[in-house]
């Protein structure tokens, strides 16, 4: 009988400990602030598109668990394409290392670290503009020349659409893999380097019909 309150107390203090014990060397000041400034601050700042700012430790700490979840699920930052399938100048997605740092920081108690390591808050970056001629493409369309980028418009959120350039020699270039791509984005993805395709190259879209695609050519 008399044992009960003790068990309860142990249970409660166990919860508190799990919250407070710091088991990682990764800190907000050193690693995490740099990732957030580079990848999140464009929207997560006062007056930005996101509902809350993530610039300071005080602003970010209450969101730590949600931040981990959003980056592991690759819902944040919103980008709409799978990293590694095609290669883009304006790629907003996190590298695997950045995702791991954030996850480890949160699991290790999300410590602040020393203020002297904090980088300066960056100015807002200008979005990359992709210039060139926009040609609408569908499955099977012939293309040639230098491809500078690809633009996608969808009527409803698209779960997965892959676009390839099938060359006449039988090789196939992955152009883009749209994932969880939303109608409000109408995004232009700029290839890291213009993609040269041989005459006779055909576009392959899998599955077709879900996205309106435009190739941006030089």
**Interface positions with ligand HEC (CB under 6 A):** 39-40, 42-44, 49-51, 63, 66-67, 70-71, 76-78, 94
Measured between alpha carbons, how far apart are the two ends of the chain, in Å?
A: 81
Least distance (Å) between residue 107 CB and ligand HEC: 15
CB-wise, 39 or 179, nearer to ligand HEC?
39
Cβ-Cβ contacts under 8 Å for 128 (sequence gap 6 or more): 89, 90, 190
* Closest residue by Cα to residue 185 from 76, 80, 74, 51: 80
Cis, peptide link before residue 101, omega less than 30° from 0: no
Least distance (Å) between residue 37 CB and ligand HEC: 10
Least distance (Å) between residue 43 CB and ligand HEC: 3
Residue pair 118/33 in contact by the 8 Å Cβ criterion: yes
Least distance (Å) between residue 56 CB and ligand HEC: 14
CB-wise, 79 or 177, nearer to ligand HEC?
79
CB-wise, 98 or 203, nearer to ligand HEC?
98
Cβ-Cβ contacts under 8 Å for 115 (sequence gap 6 or more): 29
CB-wise, 106 or 165, nearer to ligand HEC?
106
């Amino acid at each position: 009988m008399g044992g009960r309150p003790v068990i309860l107390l142990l249970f409660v203090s166990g919860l508190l400990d799990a919250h407070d014990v710091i088991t990682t060397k990764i800190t907000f000041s050193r690693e995490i602030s740099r990732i957030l400034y580079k990848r999140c601050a464009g929207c997560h700042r006062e007056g930005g598109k996101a509902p809350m700012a993530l610039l300071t430790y005080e602003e970010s700490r209450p969101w730590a668990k949600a931040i981990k979840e959003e980056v592991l699920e690759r819902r944040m930052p919103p980008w709409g394409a799978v990293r590694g399938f095609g290669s883009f100048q304006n790629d907003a997605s996190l590298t695997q290392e950045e995702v791991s740092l954030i996850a480890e920081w949160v699991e290790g108690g999300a410590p602040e670290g020393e203020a002297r390591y904090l980088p300066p808050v960056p100015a807002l970056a200008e979005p990359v503009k992709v210039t060139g001629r926009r040609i609408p493409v569908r499955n099977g369309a012939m293309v040639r020349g230098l491809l500078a980028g690809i633009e996608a418009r969808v009527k409803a959120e698209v779960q997965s659409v892959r676009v390839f350039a099938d060359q006449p020699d039988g090789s196939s270039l992955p152009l883009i893999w749209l994932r969880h791509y939303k109608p409000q984005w109408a995004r232009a993805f700029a290839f890291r380097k213009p993609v040269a395709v041989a005459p006779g190259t055909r576009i392959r879209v899998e599955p077709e019909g879900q996205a309106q695609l435009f190739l941006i050519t030089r």
